[in-house]
Each structure stands twice: as structure tokens, then as C-alpha cells.
């Protein structure tokens, strides 16, 4: 029979592609992980992994089992949660994902308040760019996401959560330091620090530029960086200007380390979305967290 514990080890090995890393993640020895996988392959009569030196990769059979194992383990967890609720308890484990701004500046406080109400619920928060979070959602690595851009994907359900403003930031001594606002086309003449492709900030920014009649590819992009922190550090180092979440630079603006400049007749308003897999029924804990989120707007 397919043992749930063994399937969880299989999933961890498939995701980490290493027996040693999977052993560390599952608190087992490497020989024990190997024994479990050998037993699983013997039971199924199929090879699940190709061994290539220290790395392992799923075979075609392994890829098929991976998709079903994800569903089986998720449904098992949901069943246990539902039974706990029948006993009047809210306990269990939920993994949610978020793009950088909600993950670093919005969700931590909300999760803290939720944990105060339900101390027996464990929440893991994974932070990545919008495309990474949606990929994790469809791969069942997370159950719920909060992202900064709405992607075109028929498998996903996006619900508006909240909004924020994106602002132009400049370093001390910049010629715009004392200007209240600029023309949008003036941005084209400045060295520009851009987030990486797949970032919700970048996706939203490019859409807003297009609405304003400015082609994003006309920007003088001098660097593409992979985090909001890297954007701030690059601007502080006078490498260029950027457009960033106002939430992310509240302290720098207060301390006058950076300065924001408005754009005439234009405002960069970005929407954050709750994103879910259309085909997946939310677990009881996910429903509880969604209900709590709706009260925190």
C-alpha cells in the first residue's frame, strides 16, 4: 500500500533532488531515505528517480506519482483539519505564499494576530516573486498566495485584497530632490533600477507606463535586481532612480535617506490579490485564515 509517511519523503526528495538534503529535511538518515524509496519503487514495480551523481531527477513514472502524491498528502491534511474542527479545535499546519511587499510588510503582523487567536495553528510563509508564488500554488507547494499582480492563467482565481501606491524614489543630491513632481517622460532620461522579470512590482509598473503612453523598454535600465531591498540599496548608492512600494521605504523617507517625487497627472496605484487554485477546495484552516484576512483590510 501507499504509505503517507513514505509519500511525504518521496515528495521532499523530488523537490530537493538530493538524498542528503531530503534526509536533513525529514529528520532521517540518508540510508533510511534510500530504503524508503527502494521499498516504494519495489511496491510499484517502477523506477521513480534517475540517479545522476549526487543529484536525482524524477522519471516519467516519478512525475506521475508526484502529481498524485501532492493531492493525496494535501487531502490527508485537510481531512485531519476537518476532524479537529469537529472536536472544537483549530490546529494544524498551513503554507501560504506572498510576493515581496505583502510578504515583508503586510502579512507578518496579520499572521501574528492570527496566531494570537489560534496558537495551535502553524503558518509557514514563503516569499518570492509573483510568478514563483503562482507556480508554487499550482504545484501544491502552498495553498494560498497574496501577490502584487494579476496574471492571465485560467487555472487561477484572483480576488482583490488591498491597494498601495508605487512612488518614484531618488537619492540625496539628485536634481529632483526638491521637486514636488516631474513629467512622466522625464523618467526616460534617468538611469533606472528595475526589479526582475516576474516581479509583481515590475508587472504593475509596466502596465501603468503603457496606460500613460510610455513604452517600458524606453527606460534607461542600468540594473535589474531581485529584491526590494536591492532596489533601495542601489538607489542609496546613487546608481539610479526607481519606482517602488511606498510601504517599503517609509523609514528611509522619514529619515530623509531617500526622497519621493510625484508624477504630474499620474498616480501608480497597485492592487494586491489573494490567489487560489480554482480546482482546489480550501482546507478548513485556509478558510479560517481567509476569513481573518477579510477582516484586516
What pLDDT, in 10s, does the model give residues 43-78? 999 999 998 878 899 999 999 999 889 888 878 877
CATH 3.40.190.10 matches 84-161+272-294: yes
The three three-digit cell numbers of residue 48, written as one number: 521513480
296 pLDDT more than 70: yes
pLDDT at 273: 94
Q: Is residue 90 predicted with pLDDT exceeding 80?
A: no
Query: Are 154 and 275 spatial neighbours (Cβ–Cβ below 8 Å)?
Result: no
**Least confident interval from 106-110, 220-224, 286-290:** 286-290
Q: Is residue 87 predicted with pLDDT exceeding 70?
A: no
- What is residue 85's predicted lDDT score, i.e. its pLDDT? 66
**What per-residue confidence (pLDDT) applies to 42?**
92
CA distances from 287 to 94, 214, 220, 259, 261 (A): 11, 41, 45, 41, 41
Q: Are 96 and 143 in contact (CB under 8 A)?
A: yes
**Could you tell me if 261 and 168 are in contact, meaning their C-beta atoms sit under 8 angstroms apart?**
yes
pLDDT class of 134 with cuts at 50, 70, 90: very high
Residue 96 predicted with pLDDT over 90: yes
> What's the CATH code, domain 4-69?
1.10.10.10
Cell reading at 26? 525529514
Same fold, 84-161+272-294 and 164-270: yes
Q: What is the pLDDT of residue 88?
A: 61
3-state secondary structure of 35: helix
Helix (H, G, I), strand (E, B) or coil at 44: helix
| Model pLDDT, residue 66 | 92
Query: What percent of the chain has pLDDT above 90?
Result: 47
The candidate with the shortest Cα–Cα distance to 190, out of 164, 166, 171, is 171
Q: Are 13 and 37 within 8 A, CB to CB?
A: yes
Mean pLDDT of 210-225: 87
pLDDT category of residue 129 using cuts at 50, 70 and 90: confident
pTM of the predicted model as reported, rounded to 2 decimal places:
0.68
Q: Can you tell me the distance from the alpha carbon of 285 to that of 90, in angstroms, rounded to the nearest whole number?
A: 7
What are the boundaries of each domain within the chain? Answer: 4-69, 84-161+272-294, 164-270
CATH class (in words) of the domain with range 164-270: alpha beta
Mean pLDDT for 132-146 is 91
Amino acid at each position: 500500500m501507499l504509505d503517507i509517511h513514505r509519500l511525504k519523503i518521496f515528495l521532499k526528495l523530488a523537490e530537493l533532488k538530493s538524498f542528503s538534503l531530503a534526509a536533513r529535511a525529514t529528520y532521517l538518515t540518508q540510508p533510511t531515505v534510500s530504503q524508503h524509496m527502494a521499498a516504494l519503487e519495489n511496491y510499484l514495480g517502477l523506477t521513480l528517480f534517475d540517479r545522476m551523481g549526487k543529484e536525482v531527477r524524477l522519471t516519467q513514472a516519478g512525475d506521475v506519482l508526484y502529481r498524485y502524491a501532492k493531492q493525496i498528502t494535501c487531502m490527508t491534511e485537510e481531512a485531519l483539519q476537518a476532524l479537529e474542527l469537529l472536536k472544537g479545535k483549530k490546529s494544524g499546519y498551513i503554507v501560504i505564499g506572498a510576493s515581496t511587499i505583502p510578504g515583508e510588510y503586510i502579512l507578518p503582523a496579520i499572521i501574528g494576530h492570527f496566531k494570537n487567536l489560534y496558537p495551535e495553528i502553524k503558518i509557514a510563509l514563503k516569499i518570492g516573486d509573483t510568478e514563483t508564488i503562482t507556480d508554487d500554488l499550482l504545484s501544491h507547494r502552498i495553498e494560498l498566495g497574496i501577490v502584487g499582480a494579476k496574471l492571465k492563467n485560467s487555472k487561477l482565481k484572483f480576488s482583490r485584497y488591498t491597494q498601495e501606491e508605487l512612488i518614484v524614489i531618488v537619492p540625496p543630491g539628485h536634481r529632483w530632490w526638491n521637486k514636488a513632481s516631474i513629467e512622466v517622460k522625464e523618467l526616460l532620461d534617468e538611469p533606472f533600477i528595475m526589479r526582475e522579470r516576474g516581479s509583481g512590482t515590475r508587472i504593475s509598473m509596466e502596465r501603468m507606463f503603457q496606460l500613460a503612453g510610455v513604452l517600458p523598454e524606453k527606460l534607461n535600465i542600468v540594473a535589474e535586481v531581485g529584491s526590494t531591498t536591492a532596489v533601495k540599496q542601489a538607489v542609496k548608492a546613487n546608481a539610479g532612480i526607481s519606482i517602488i512600494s511606498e510601504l517599503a521605504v517609509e523609514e528611509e523617507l522619514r529619515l530623509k535617506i531617500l526622497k519621493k517625487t510625484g508624477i504630474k497627472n499620474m498616480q501608480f496605484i497597485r492592487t494586491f490579490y489573494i490567489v487560489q487554485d480554482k480546482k482546489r477546495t480550501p482546507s478548513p484552516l485556509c478558510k479560517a485564515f481567509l476569513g481573518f484576512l477579510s477582516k484586516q483590510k
